[in-house]
A and B are shown apart, each in its own frame.
Chain A
Amino acid sequence: GENVEQHPSTLSVQEGDSAVIKCTYSDSASNYFPWYKQELGKRPQLIIDIRSNVGEKKDQRIAVTLNKTAKHFSLHITETQPEDSAVYFCAASSSGNNNDMRFGAGTRLTVKP
């Protein structure tokens, strides 16, 4: 089955700097890669996702890149703000259903003002 590894487990940046979180996956059949943000004490929420037919997707300060050959994808946050502080989870699944979706262990991002 799918195995998703996420690095780093913790990341601390200064406000205004960029943050990059990386994930690798094992199942070459995976073609859907969402990223969830979980603020302290709150529910995870989808912030961006990418499908395997594209290599990059941007939404304001957030971007995700996908390298299917190398089986890795990354989340990039530019101009970080204190409200970006949260735990970020990557995930991977293949078409058909979400029952094979597997999550990374999470990255705790701290943005220092």
Chain B
Amino acid sequence: DGGITQSPKYLFRKEGQNVTLSCEQNLNHDAMYWYRQDPGQGLRLIYYSQIVNDFQKGDIAEGYSVSREKKESFPLTVTSAQKNPTAFYLCASKGGSVTGELFFGEGSRLTVL
């Protein structure tokens, strides 16, 4: 069953702790993305990666870090430097067309206590 899997679905974190959200895809897509979704603000791009071992900052990268060691995996770390980390995080991937459909995971809801 092809698709994108995010885990965990729900995560609670104490202030000052780093947390890593997992994103795995078996669609053989080169490009992967992390978005943050807040009520009334749509989807904002955190980081993206066009190819293995390469990634770029999006609009709101501060306080986040990523890695892309494998084509299938694009984990996102929410660091303690992120001032307002409570949000819904969506991972997505895209196939080889220049522009085209984004395939999203089911999301991870992070709550900072």
Contact = CB atoms under 8 A, between A and B. Distances in A.
B17 interface: no
How many chain B residues sit at the interface, stated as a range, is 20 to 34
A46 interface: yes
B102 A98 contact: yes
Contacts of A89: 42-43
Quick one: which of A45, A51, A96, A99 has the most chain B CB within 10 A?
Answer: A99
A32 B100 CA distance: 8
Interface residues of A, number: 27
Contact of A99 (B41, B43, B58, B107): B58
Given A43-B105, A44-B104, A97-B50, A9 B40 contact: yes
Contacts of A93: 99
A106 B33 contact: no
A45 B105 CA distance: 10
Interface in B85-113: 90, 94, 98-102, 104-107
B99 A45 contact: no
A42 interface: yes
B58 A44 contact: no
A43 B42 contact: no
